[in-house]
Structure 1
Amino acid sequence: MKEEQNDIEQLIAKSLAGETTSVEEEQLASWLKDDPANQEIFEKSKKVIALTKSHSSETALDIDVNAEWSKFKSNVEGKTKTIEMVTSSTSIWYKVAATFLILLVSGAILYLSLLKNDETFYETAASAEVFVLPDSSTVTLNKNSTLAYSKDFGATDRKVKLTGEAFFEVTPNKKKPFIINTAEASVQVLGTSFNINSVESDKTEVTVATGLVALSSLETKASIKLNAGDKGVLAHNNDELSSSRNDDVNFLAWKTRTIIFENADLAEVISTLNHVYNMRLNLVEGVGGNCKVSVTFDNQSFDAVLNVLESTLELEIVREENQVNITNAGC
């Protein structure tokens, strides 16, 4: 099975590098038809290569490819499996594609080094991952999120770009502020820990665990300060900023996998579970209006959580290909 997986990874890499034979292309086409998930892997792989090529070119790369390849394998040893790849002095992209696919196909973190402008770029797929930045700050990047910083990170300040959601634990440095930019907002800190959620298209949320944070609108430059225990929201439609005390005990459940419900509405429970587990759990209209949930889950799988709710609330559940529907509740 492992040999078959390695063959597929090499086949995808060769296809993206334009080095497959007609027989190999037929093999790849057959694999893509076997499972829709295979097509998704292939499309993500193409996106990765397209992104990298937009920042660099084979003639512009002033690097020792073999040295970079060896360095990469050394860095990921023990974290992901290693695939024996065929080396070729005429194809830099073969190695580039293979480097990315080692991580992408295995479902692990995808790491891109954009060589032309020395920008470091991280992207997560189906699970959260933890990164340590050059200043020793720690970032837990939620699933389906990206983080990037340029080569001048730490020179005068510490700027990063975020899409999605992440929890930051920033190393204090009063002389070099830590700045996170999203599509709509900017967050500046000196040393603290906080969560940024820019997943939803209509708002950006910042929840502070420790320290002091300034949340600003990139459009209006307006800013608010947030202390530990505060939640700040930037509404994207009008760039309005607001703050309040955070009353969501589960704001870090995606990271900690500890979920606490105390007399919570079933609709709230479903919203939290969908965010934590990246699921499509739906409550059919009119169902569960009187349901209240008081329970704690500690690092349990989605199926285990659903089984508990199903039995205690007498739920009727219909599972479909891409979602789970609650059609009735006995509470």
Structure 2
Amino acid sequence: MTSLKEIWNRYKLGKADIKEKKKLLEAIDNEDVELDGILYADWKNTRTGKIGRKEKTRAWDNLAHSIAIKKRKVIHLYQYGIAASVAVCVALAIFLYPTTNHTIEVQVASGEKVKEVLLPDGSRVWINHASSISYPKEFGPESRNLILQGHAFFEIERNPSKPFLVETNEIAVKVLGTSFDVYSFKDESSTVSVESGKVEVSHSDSDSKIVLLANERSVYDSEQGHFGKTTFDSKTIMAWRNNVLHFENLELGQAIKHIERKYGVHIVCTDPGLLGIRIRASYTVEPLDTVLTDLAFMTNFDFEKNENNNEITLKPMDMGEN
């Protein structure tokens, strides 16, 4: 099921369908706590100053018109919004985001090479395997917003009057002009690694924010609810931009996810104990069989390939084999 956060991100880029827009309106009408927090946090990141009555009215009109809601229903929702909490009132103003279909989406499928993209403001993005970005054809007058799913590296043109905001399902990164790496896949820890400049990182589950400088990295573990900061080796983290797989003291289980995305395969491990083994290795243009054979030697596993479903099975090595 698509989350409210995902629907909201799609709406801002003009990609939400009628059912998704109705779900947003229903969530506001029901005072949904989750959406309330999402919208208020978003507003704080992108807007300043008070929201006037005319803006609120126009916000409802724009959204309601796009899903053909009857006038009577629009009035009801508008009256509700005016009397609602501050956060929900702010939600009305947030719906002023343009809802045109002039949205650009760039995807890099598993097995494809890293792709470089030039944004409308001159900023550059490198998109890793199994990842995508979405952004408007032209950025608005007050901010530059982009949605990321997966992994990408950004070199942002400096503009103090127009912040750049990268949003994922869990975190938001706000910058004026800098270079940084964002890693945010479902069921994995989300990280932001800064190569130069300064960035502000926040996450959707709280009001916590972390400011990062060069060679600093934030890590958000959704399972543990931990949001912290550490340092990192930029050469190690950024190697992927040159299509290099670099594992530096990385658990095999995490390395497998990178391998799956780079080579477009599905890997199953029959022994969970293997997944915790840490490895150090680096691969550039090596074929998949070479990578698997090398890792198998280091960690004592065998592997079988099923060409019919593109699946690879890892299992402990039979120590009785010659």
What is the TM-score of this pair, normalised by structure 2? 0.56
Q: Output one character per residue of 1:282-308: Cα deviation in whole Å (capped at 9) or x when no partner.
A: 443276599775543223232332233
Q: Give ranges in structure 1 of 5+ residues lacking alignment.
A: 1-50, 56-113
Q: Is 1:232–1:241's contact at 8 Å kept on the other side of the alignment? A: yes
How many angstroms apart in 2 are the aligned matches of 1:282 and 1:135? 42
Spell out the pairing of 1:98-247 with structure 2 (5 A cutoff): 116-126=100-110, 127=112, 128-150=114-136, 153=139, 155-201=141-187, 203-236=189-222, 240-246=226-232
The residue identity in structure 2 corresponding to 1:182 is T
Spell out the pairing of 1:286-301 with structure 2 (5 A cutoff): 288=274, 293-301=279-287
Matched residue, 2:311? 323
Q: Is 2:274–2:299's contact at 8 Å kept on the other side of the alignment? A: no
The verdict on how the C-alpha distance between 1:310 and 1:248 changes in structure 2, with shifts beyond 3 A counting, is farther
Figure out how many residues of one structure are paired with residues of the other and give that number.
Answer: 223
Tell me the C-alpha RMSD between the 2 structures: 3.7
The residue identity in structure 1 corresponding to 2:172 is S
The residue identity in structure 1 corresponding to 2:282 is T
How many angstroms apart in 1 are the aligned matches of 2:137 and 2:269? 47
Q: How high is the sequence identity, in percent, across the aligned residues?
A: 26
The verdict on how the C-alpha distance between 1:237 and 1:323 changes in structure 2, with shifts beyond 3 A counting, is same
**3-state SS of the aligned residue for 2:294?**
helix
**Distance apart, 1:146 and its partner CA:** 2.8
Matched residue, 1:106? none
How many angstroms apart in 2 are the aligned matches of 1:248 and 1:268? 19
**Distance apart, 1:145 and its partner CA:** 2.7
How many angstroms apart in 2 are the aligned matches of 1:215 and 1:289? 30
Higher RCO, Cα 8 Å, sep 6+: 2
How many angstroms apart in 2 are the aligned matches of 1:187 and 1:289? 31
